[in-house]
C-alpha cells in the first residue's frame, strides 16, 4: 500500500530560524494520526508548509502526497489534489459571504478535477445540511467569511469546509481548541463521518480529550522540529500523566 502522505527527513526554515529539523512521517489511506507537542515545537509550521503558505523555506527532504511532489504545487493546486488544512487561526474576510466563498471553493476544486459542478440549488441544500449537522445556524452562511464568528464558530466553519470539499487528507490544526464540550462532540462526529478507507486525517492537538472522541491509529510527539516518539493511544495517556519533559529530558 502506498502512503497518502510521505514526509521524509524534512528541514524547514522560517525567517532564518530552523524550525523543522529532520521530520519524517507517513500516513496511509484510512489512517488517523495525531501530533502532540510543546508550544513552538513546529506543529503549525508543518501544517502550513503542507498547505503551501508562503514564507517557509524547505532546506532538504521531501513531501509526497498521493504520489506527487507536493512541494512543487501552488496552494490552490494542493487543495485541488485533495489536501485540506483546518487553520489554527482562520482569517476573517469581511464582505465576502461565506456561501459565495464556499461555492467558489467547491466549484474551482470540481473544475480542476474535471467534475461537473453542483447546481446552485443542490449546493445550497448540501451546505445547509452540513451546517445543520455541525449545529451552525444557516445565518452563518450569509455572513462574511468568519466575520465576527466566535472562536468555536470559526472552527466549526473550518470543518464545514472540510466536509464540503471531501479532501483526501485533512490536517486539523488545533481544531479542538476553543470548543466547548458539546461543540467538541459535534466536530468529532463530523470528522468521524468523514473518515473512510480512502482518506486520512492528521490532527494536531494539545488535549488527550479530543482523542477520546476521534480515536487515532498513531500518535506522534513533535519536539524541537522532530518526531521524537510515535505510538498508539496509550502514548497520549502517558503524556497526560507525565508531561513532555518525560520525553524531551531524555538524552537523545
Ligand X SMILES: Nc1ncnc2c1ncn2[C@@H]1O[C@H](COP(=O)(O)OP(=O)(O)OP(=O)(O)O)[C@@H](O)[C@H]1O
Binding partner of residue 54 among another protein, Mg ion, ligand X, none, CB under 5 to 8 Å per kind? another protein
- Residue among 53 and 195 whose Cβ is closer to ligand X: 53
DSSP-derived letter for residue 91 is P
Chain positions 35 to 54 lying near Mg ion, rule: CB under 5 A, are: 43-44
**Residues contributing to the site for ligand X (CB under 6 A):** 14-15, 17, 19, 37, 39-45, 55, 88
- Residue among 38 and 144 whose Cβ is closer to ligand X: 38
Burial of 217 (0-12, 13-18, 19+ CB in 10 A): middle
Radius of gyration of the chain (CA): 18
- Residue among 42 and 152 whose Cβ is closer to ligand X: 42
Examine residue 146 and tell whether it contacts Mg ion (CB under 5 A).
Answer: no
Please state the closest distance from residue 94 (CB atom) to another protein, in A. Answer: 7
Where is 108: in which H helix or E strand? helix 98-112
Please state the closest distance from residue 146 (CB atom) to another protein, in A. Answer: 9
Rounded Cα distance, 222 and 42, in Å: 7
138 Cα distance to chain centroid: 24
Binding partner of residue 85 among another protein, Mg ion, ligand X, none, CB under 5 to 8 Å per kind? another protein
Tell me the HSE value of 76 on the side-chain side, using a 13 A CA sphere. 10
Q: Report the alpha-carbon angle 210-213-217, nearest 5.
A: 85
Sign for the CA dihedral angle at 108, 110, 83, 190 comes to: positive
Please state the closest distance from residue 84 (CB atom) to another protein, in A. Answer: 8
Query: In this chain, which stretch among 86-94, 97-105, 116-124, 214-222 interacts with Mg ion, using CB under 5 A?
Result: 86-94
Please state the closest distance from residue 36 (CB atom) to ligand X, in A. Answer: 9
Tell me the HSE value of 96 on the side-chain side, using a 13 A CA sphere. 11
- Residue among 55 and 245 whose Cβ is closer to another protein: 55
Strand pairing class (169-173; 5-14): unpaired
Please state the closest distance from residue 77 (CB atom) to ligand X, in A. Answer: 23
Residue 25 in 3-state DSSP?
A: strand
Please state the closest distance from residue 45 (CB atom) to another protein, in A. Answer: 15
- Residue among 39 and 119 whose Cβ is closer to Mg ion: 39
Rounded Cα distance, 233 and 220, in Å: 10
**Residues contributing to the site for another protein (CB under 8 A):** 51-54, 74-76, 78-80, 85, 87, 90-91, 93-96, 100-101, 104-106, 108-109, 112, 144-145, 161, 165
Cell of 86: 483546518
Binding partner of residue 39 among ligand X, another protein, Mg ion, none, CB under 5 to 8 Å per kind? ligand X
Amino acid at each position: 500500500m502506498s502512503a497518502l502522505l510521505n514526509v521524509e527527513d524534512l528541514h524547514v526554515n522560517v525567517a532564518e530560524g530552523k524550525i523543522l529539523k529532520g521530520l519524517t512521517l507517513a500516513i496511509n489511506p484510512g489512517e488517523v494520526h495525531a501530533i502532540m507537542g510543546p508550544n513552538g515545537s513546529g506543529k503549525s509550521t508543518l501544517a502550513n508548509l503542507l498547505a503551501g503558505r508562503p514564507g517557509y523555506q524547505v532546506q532538504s527532504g521531501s513531501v509526497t502526497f498521493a504520489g506527487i511532489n507536493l512541494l512543487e504545487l501552488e496552494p490552490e493546486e494542493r487543495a485541488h489534489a485533495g489536501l485540506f488544512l483546518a487553520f489554527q487561526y482562520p482569517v476573517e474576510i469581511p464582505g465576502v459571504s461565506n456561501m459565495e466563498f464556499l461555492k467558489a471553493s467547491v466549484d474551482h476544486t470540481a473544475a480542476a478535477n474535471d467534475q461537473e459542478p453542483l447546481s446552485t440549488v443542490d449546493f445550497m441544500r448540501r451546505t445547509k445540511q452540513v451546517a445543520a449537522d455541525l449545529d451552525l445556524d444557516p445565518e452563518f452562511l450569509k455572513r462574511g467569511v468568519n466575520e465576527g464568528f466566535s472562536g468555536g464558530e470559526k472552527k466549526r466553519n473550518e470543518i464545514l469546509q472540510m466536509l464540503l470539499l471531501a479532501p483526501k487528507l485533512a490536517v486539523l490544526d488545533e481544531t479542538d481548541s476553543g470548543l466547548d464540550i458539546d461543540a467538541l462532540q459535534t466536530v468529532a462526529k463530523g470528522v468521524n463521518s468523514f473518515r473512510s478507507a480512502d482518506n486520512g486525517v492528521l490532527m494536531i492537538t494539545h488535549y488527550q480529550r479530543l482523542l477520546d472522541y476521534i480515536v487515532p491509529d498513531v500518535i506522534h510527539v513533535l519536539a524541537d522540529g522532530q518526531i521524537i516518539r510515535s505510538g498508539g493511544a496509550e502514548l497520549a495517556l502517558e503524556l497526560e500523566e507525565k508531561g513532555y519533559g518525560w520525553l524531551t529530558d531524555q538524552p537523545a
